[in-house]
Structure 1
């Protein structure tokens, strides 16, 4: 690693950027938790007929396909970068393109979840709801790391990351996949019964 002289002004901007990222993560985490709580509360108060329920299920599944499809694509390309088969610039660019699809799909799932008449007394539903909250917060916790990765040289590999960054990335990947698959499997099991 080489020494690159950095001016005080650059250091100050970097510290301000880190602080603004922390504030953004805190605000988004609060907003995600509030949106999740609002969805759960409204779903217990709103009861719809068969037609609205069917439309909500279709839109819920389409939102799931949108968000989870984008997640799988980003995670797959991230894995390919991890083993040296993709460049960092490609991953950052793909993540930027997929982010609106992921969050749009998740917002669609929350909005349509209100009209699904969930059985909130069923422990399986609680597991699904917890998984959705955790995956939302997990995605938000990736923001600081992705911003740091975007500042690295495009030739950087997974091995060039610090141990903390590698751990953060892998932990978020595992949490994401576990929560998405849990929510999907429990959702389909609950839909059957």
Structure 2
């Protein structure tokens, strides 16, 4: 249909509608604390079982070499993903990134992080670790700490979701907890990596 020169087109004037603020009850429900606690107990049991099994597995040199390479690959994948998440967390704490950025990054990289941990656990079965070595026991402890800290970070991230689209600031306690989780994460991953390197030289 053609418009004449005298035809006027009215454009509605008014405030642009904005999406409502997300609240704690919107979207998916947070993972129940008892589920995270059960996963923590399961992780500790799985790690203990892996330590026991590793003392009864006698891999040939070829299998040990393959397992050592895959162990290193799992460390690279897991640590790389953790570095990305924690770097975004630091930038957020410094006011250089939005909270939504770190939450999206953490959600995206959950698979390589947990995949890296699982890879460390499985490949470690074939490396004949010396369970009487203090370094080895320290590394196992660090892996457990990393796992439990990951579950805690998951819990914390779900609590932070309610603030990512609000103008109000994040409570100080969540800022402190986020910084502590990132510190534990980096300490655990780098500590486990260094100990693994030292054990490979002995």
* Short-chain TM bin: 0.7 to 0.9
Structure 2, unaligned runs of 5 or more = 1-22
| Correspondence for 1:132 among 101, 124, 143 | 143
Cα gap change, 1:137 to 1:156, in 2 (>3 Å): farther
1:120 matched residue in structure 2 = 131
1:184 matched residue in structure 2 = 193
| Correspondence for 1:69 among 75, 80, 87 | 80
Q: Bigger radius of gyration, 1 or 2?
A: 2
- Determine if contact 2:64/2:127 at 8 Å carries over to the other structure: yes
Shift of 1:154: 3.1
| Correspondence for 1:166 among 175, 180, 196 | 175
Count of residue correspondences: 178
Q: Distance in 2 between matches of 1:80 and 1:151?
A: 19
Q: Distance in 1 between matches of 2:86 and 2:181?
A: 10
In the TM superposition, structure 1's runs of 4+ consecutive aligned residues that sit over 6 Å from their partners are none
Question: RMSD of aligned C-alpha atoms?
Answer: 1.9
Q: Distance in 1 between matches of 2:167 and 2:96?
A: 12
Q: Distance in 2 between matches of 1:88 and 1:176?
A: 19
- 1:34 counterpart = 2:18: no
Normalised by the length of structure 1, the TM-score is 0.86
Structure holding more helix per residue? 1
